[in-house]
Amino acid sequence: MRITATIAAVVALFPLASLAETLHTKVVILGGGVSGISAARNLTAGGVNDFMIIEARDELGGRAQNIDFADTKVELGCNWVQGLGTNPVNVLREKYGLKTAPNNGDDVVFYDENGLVNFTEAYNTFGEAYDRMSELALKRLQNGQVDISSRVGLDLAGWYPMTPLDEAIEYYNFDWEYGENPEVSSLLYGVLNDEYSYGEKIFGEGSDGDLFVLDERGFKHIFLEAANEVLKKNDPRVLLNTKVTKIAHDDQGVTIHTGTDTIIKAEYAIVTFSVGVLQHRDVQFSPRLPDWKMEGIYAFNMATYTKIFLNFPHQFWDDTQYTMYVDPDKRGYFAAWQNLNAPGFLPKKTSNNIFFVTVTQDYAYQVESMSDEEVKQEAMKVLRTMYGDDIPEATDILVPRWHSNPLFRGSYSNWPIGELDQHHTNLKAPVGRLYFAGEALSKEAYGFLQGAWFTGEETATHIMQCINSKCPKIEYYPMIYNTKTFKERKDFA
């Protein structure tokens, strides 16, 4: 009697427990970003309509996010269509009329504590060395030579930064693109990534270029429209504001536990979480992912690229698209500034004078630990060093915090030195009925939106093969070996 009474009391105290609901579907897509949308479209095209998308945010789009700021909207995440031609992201841009402006990285000036710097000679020297480095990397790939860091590659190509200006030029042309410095970045895969994502051999003539997105509907608009082609309005197959907390999996299927007490049971799952989320163990897997999979996950890097938006009463900076600060002591410190008042960019408004700066890697982590006011003061110190003490104080500031956000844990991936082909194969490979997609899983286009699109499409194809006939055999490496065993190394004989 006492036990029965206690149970009754618990039920009375916690009636919400009875509201937990279990949903059933054939395929569950975890994450509503670009790869998740691409997977949903491909499943639909293949006749598989029994799927669900689980998204923690209140809308689809993933890292394509824009937000109100200073009487306009700005992009918190992805901001460029990188690679034109038949790049699927560019095809969507053209189809849905996304507003963009031509991006010109050479439209830049450099400032140090004494004002404008003559940078042309050093800038051209770096560009020539970068071209030689790319040629070197392609030859090493063809010869089957081992990977080296981009720092080594630049050095072998005749470039090593000797001055603060050299460091600023290198940061602008390398870190600001990859999100991490040359010391940690792969040479071979970085060049392959660049060649693939912009190459005419892949996306056709005229693909080598990029466009800066300025559409108030947001970069996300083209992906939401792409999703709307296969999803109905308020489609019950899409669960928004639903965070995945645990993924149980076995040979029979998967069970998804969520923060809303909703449980989803599916035959297959497509996990599109960023590699940063997987590394931080923000979602529990039961049983835990096998060692070979965890090795693949941890071997890759999740870079953080933080754009800090500042609005001012009036423009005091140059009309160029880009401005670089040459810090005498701290390479990359509040260095890469962008002008949203540049000709052809945002419509001119008296209340809208936006100058924003990007920080990466350690400085991005540092910024996330500071208050917005502290970040503003650091930015203002740099701007006053560049333009003098008479410039106005910023009236508004916006600081995204991608690294500390448990839904992302960074901005986009980067291939680090030490990451082997086998590691990346394991990162991408399925575990039973758990399949994986996302930009980091694209060997050729990691870090790019098209990488996310392609892997979502490919993973959906693999699952459809499982449903319709037989699952494809996808390679992975349960163990990764050196070319020589420990005993074969003479220095340890």
Cα distances (Å, whole numbers) of residue 147 to 185, 188, 446: 10, 6, 17
Collapsing DSSP states into helix, strand and coil, what is residue 358?
A: strand
Per the CB < 8 A criterion, the answer to whether 335 and 171 are in contact is yes
pLDDT of residue 201: 79
Binding site listing:
35, 55-56, 244
Binding site listing for FAD:
35, 55-56, 244
Torsion angle of C-alpha atoms 151, 156, 157, 161, degrees rounded to 10? 50
pLDDT of residue 487: 52
Q: Return per-residue pLDDT of the chain as tens, 493 residues.
A: 333 333 333 333 334 444 579 999 999 999 999 999 999 999 999 999 999 999 999 999 999 999 999 999 999 999 999 999 999 999 999 999 999 999 999 999 999 999 999 999 999 999 999 999 999 999 999 999 999 999 999 999 999 999 999 999 999 999 999 999 999 999 999 999 988 888 887 898 888 899 999 999 999 999 999 999 999 999 999 999 999 999 999 999 999 999 998 999 999 999 999 999 999 989 999 999 999 999 999 999 999 999 999 999 999 999 999 999 999 999 999 999 999 999 999 887 767 899 999 999 999 999 999 999 999 999 999 999 999 999 999 999 999 999 999 999 999 999 999 999 999 999 999 999 999 999 999 999 999 999 999 999 999 999 999 999 999 999 999 999 876 554 554 544 4
Beta bridge pairs of residue 337: 323, 357
Distance CA 449, CA 348 (A): 30
- Give residue for tokens 């994450």: 31
Q: Please, what are the domains in the chain?
A: 19-62+216-298+418-468 (3.50.50.60), 104-208+305-401 (3.90.660.10)
pLDDT of residue 220: 98
Collapsing DSSP states into helix, strand and coil, what is residue 112?
A: strand
Determine whether 202 is exposed, middle or buried from the number of CB atoms within 10 Å of its CB (0-12, 13-18, 19+).
Answer: middle
pTM: 0.93
The length of the chain, given as a count of residues: 493
Helix (H) or strand (E) holding 75: strand 72-75
Strand bridging mode 108-112 / 72-75? unpaired
pLDDT of residue 482: 77
Tell how many helices (H) and how many strands (E) occur in the chain.
16, 22
Distance CA 383, CA 407 (A): 32
Sign of CA dihedral 400, 406, 408, 409: positive
